[in-house]
């Protein structure tokens, strides 16, 4: 895959609810609320947004999107990186305490022009069908997209609501 078509570097996308988006930068469009991601924003901090991956319908597949248009952890301010760490911490804790998954993989690739971190959950079906490890995440994502149906999308949206409630209960929302 060419870098310009990679993870938000393209100018268009179709989310898993079938909505088509046009944007200059997907990360900025999410930050500026130009586009509404499926299930809505789970948590909004001063510097970050937490939501479900808009294109891949896997329950508990979450994205931490940094609001500022930067593409590297090395460009984060101290305040931003503290918030990123906090959001990842609570998102992972939510997925585990809500028994959505007991293992996640974090991914951040600087070839994406806007900094975002994948929190990718592991499920038994993934290991059984593809194997375990970072090299299978693309195949798993494609499979989830191709095999999406109403029931699976409903499950994804339900998990989003559960994680939203978890964050609300934490009480540190602005
Ligand atoms: Zn951007």
Give residue limits of the domains in the chain: 3-170
Q: What is the Å distance from ligand 1's center to 125 Cα?
A: 34
Q: Please tell me the predicted confidence (pLDDT) of residue 30.
A: 96
Cβ atoms within 10 Å, residue 92: 18
Residue 6: pLDDT band with limits 50, 70, 90? low
Q: Which residues of 151-171 are buried (b: 16+ CB within 10 A; e: fewer)?
A: eebeebbebbebbbebbeeee
Q: What is the Å distance from ligand 1's center to 44 Cα?
A: 16
Q: Mean pLDDT across the stretch 11-35?
A: 94
Q: Enter the DSSP assignment of 68.
A: S
Q: Please tell me the predicted confidence (pLDDT) of residue 7.
A: 56
Q: 163 Cβ partners below 8 Å, 6+ apart?
A: 42, 50, 60, 62, 91, 94, 95, 98, 100
CATH 3.40.50.300 for domain 3-170, yes or no, is: no
Residue 173: pLDDT band with limits 50, 70, 90? low
Q: Please tell me the predicted confidence (pLDDT) of residue 170.
A: 87
pTM: 0.93
């Amino acid at each position: 895959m060419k870098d310009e078509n990679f993870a938000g570097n393209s100018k268009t996308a179709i989310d898993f609810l079938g909505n088509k988006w046009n944007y200059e930068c997907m990360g900025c469009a999410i930050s500026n609320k130009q586009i509404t991601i499926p299930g809505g924003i789970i948590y909004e901090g001063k510097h970050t947004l937490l939501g479900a991956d808009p294109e891949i319908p896997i329950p508990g597949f979450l994205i931490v999107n940094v609001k500022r248009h930067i593409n590297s952890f090395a460009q984060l301010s101290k305040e931003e990186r503290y918030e990123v760490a906090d959001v990842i911490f609570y998102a992972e804790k939510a997925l585990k305490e809500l028994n959505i998954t007991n293992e996640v993989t974090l991914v951040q690739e600087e070839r994406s022009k806007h900094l975002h971190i994948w929190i990718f959950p592991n499920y038994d079906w993934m290991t059984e069908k593809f194997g375990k490890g970072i090299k299978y995440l693309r195949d798993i994502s494609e499979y989830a997209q191709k095999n999406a149906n109403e029931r699976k999308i409903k499950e994804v949206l339900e998990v989003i609501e559960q994680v939203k409630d978890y964050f609300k209960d934490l009480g540190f929302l602005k």
